[in-house]
Amino acid sequence: MARPVRLLHTADWHLGKRLRDFPLLEEQAAVVAQVVELARTLRPDALVVAGDVFDTAVPGVEALRVWANALEALVDAGVPVVAISGNHDQAERLGHLGGLAARAGVHLRTDLATVATPVVLGHVAVYGLPFTRPVRVRSAFGLDAERVPDGDDAAALRFLSAQVLAAHRAERPDLVPVAVAHAFVEGAGREDEGEDAIAVGGTGAVPADVFDGFAYVALGHLHGRRSLAGGRVRYAGSLYPTSFAEAGHAKSVSLVTLEGDAASVEEHPLRPPRPVRVVGGLTFDEVLAAAGAETREAREGYVLVRVTDSEPIASALPRLRDVYPRSLLEQAAPEADTEAPEAAEELSALDPREVTLTFLRERTGQDASDLQLEVLDAALAFEPEDDA
């Protein structure tokens, strides 16, 4: 019996991502450092990144630096890397200098021409299937649209899987095939908030059976841990929450052990340097009052505050950020009263000029200036010309 092969399965690093108003690179760098330390401690046969290394096709210099530093640390630790491009990555950019990187044990699979070239680790052959669309598959393999139609990602991925497995059976039948892919697989739930959608109206989703024949499939794209096909097809999830919809999600990396062709998985948790959470169901004043009882760690995290107030709140965001410096505010919209025609009649009787001046006075604490009065009177006197 060959010795077990162990893969540290990660995905969706999204380096350079912003959480609405806030850049996340500081937190991402800290979590990536945890991944590197786990690799040093666990000594897997390879660390796998199943796509979306970066959040944009043209990542910033600081995001590139986090990636380069991680690779350098992994190479120094003697841990090989297998990474593919995801739908957020620009494949050619990610794969730049891939031949040189491979000499150091960093295997970047971004080119369809290399999908049938595995990274061999003990008795396991790891195949990288970068994210792609049907038009690129047709171009790379000289296919027509009848074989791989536009919009049919399932047909494209099924073709790639078949190509890989045919080459594997012909050239390496004694090894166990493993795939690394980036896709939206049917039955795995919804795509994540803020994620560039692969599936639109159902188009783009692929059935799990496109991966039949692989002992394990390390997936990327969905940000929560999910298992399909009896655990043989798995999402490791993102390293850090990239939206408030992921608030409270446990993040981890998956240590996959292959004994023969049987895969088992052990999760290793990641510790977010700042929590991402949602506070709701309270008025604005109640939120401020409750903040005093929270720990500094909780206040320093990313907080989406949803208040129940329907009336305007003076200087709301500055006041909120006095206690939660990395916060965002969402306020309930006032409900329209559709059953009070008398209210509509009362509104129609109001003087628009007086209402505007009262509103201005309440919002600014002072009367309108001469210039503001002039602009207001001109606006009220304006009558559009009749095109007819």
Instruction: Quote the DSSP letter at residue 175.
Output: S
Judge whether residue 336 has pLDDT over 60.
no
Nearest to 179 by CA among 60, 82, 39, 304: 82
Q: What is the dihedral of CA 159, 132, 67, 97, to 10 degrees?
A: 80
CB 317 within 8 A of CB 350: no
Judge whether residue 197 has pLDDT over 80.
no
* Cα(86)–Cα(182) distance, integer angstroms: 6
Residue 335, CB-side half-sphere exposure with 13 Å CA sphere: 6
Strand order in the sheet with 302-307: 276-282, 302-307, 326-331
**Residue with more model confidence, 381 or 288:** 288
Residue with tokens 């795509």, as numbered in its chain: 191
The rounded Cα 246 to chain-centroid distance in angstroms is 9
**Residue with more model confidence, 218 or 385:** 218
Judge whether residue 180 has pLDDT over 90.
yes
Judge whether residue 388 has pLDDT over 50.
no
The mean-pLDDT minimum among 47-61, 253-267, 369-383 falls in 369-383
Tell me what percent of the residues of the chain surpass a pLDDT of 70.
Answer: 89
- Residue 188 binned pLDDT confidence (cut-offs 50, 70, 90): confident
Mean pLDDT of the residues in the chain: 91
**Residue with more model confidence, 275 or 385:** 275
pLDDT digits (tens, 9 = 90+) for 106-160: 999 999 999 999 999 999 999 999 999 999 999 999 999 999 999 899 999 999 9
Q: What is the DSSP string of 80-145?
A: -EEEE--SSS-HHHHTTTHHHHHHTTEEEE--GGGTT--EEETTEEEEEE----HHHHHHHHT--T
* Cα(64)–Cα(50) distance, integer angstroms: 17
pLDDT digits (tens, 9 = 90+) for 69-118: 999 999 999 999 999 999 999 999 999 999 999 999 999 999 999 999 99
* Cα(64)–Cα(75) distance, integer angstroms: 16
* Model pLDDT, residue 380: 81
Nearest to 268 by CA among 77, 86, 109, 47: 47
Judge whether residue 228 has pLDDT over 70.
yes
* Model pLDDT, residue 201: 47
Measure the CA angle with vertex 88, ends 84 and 94; round to 5°. 45
Work out the burial of residue 276: count CB atoms within 10 Å of its CB; fewer than 13 is exposed, 13-18 middle, 19 or more buried: buried
State in Å, rounded, how far the first CA of the chain is from the last one: 89
pTM of the model: 0.83
Judge whether residue 301 has pLDDT over 90.
yes
* Cα(160)–Cα(148) distance, integer angstroms: 11
pLDDT digits (tens, 9 = 90+) for 231-250: 999 999 999 999 999 998 99
Look up the CATH number of domain 5-269: 3.60.21.10
Instruction: Quote the DSSP letter at residue 211.
Output: G
Measure the CA angle with vertex 70, ends 296 and 46; round to 5°. 115
CB 210 within 8 A of CB 161: yes
What are the extents of the domains in the chain?
Answer: 5-269, 276-331, 350-381
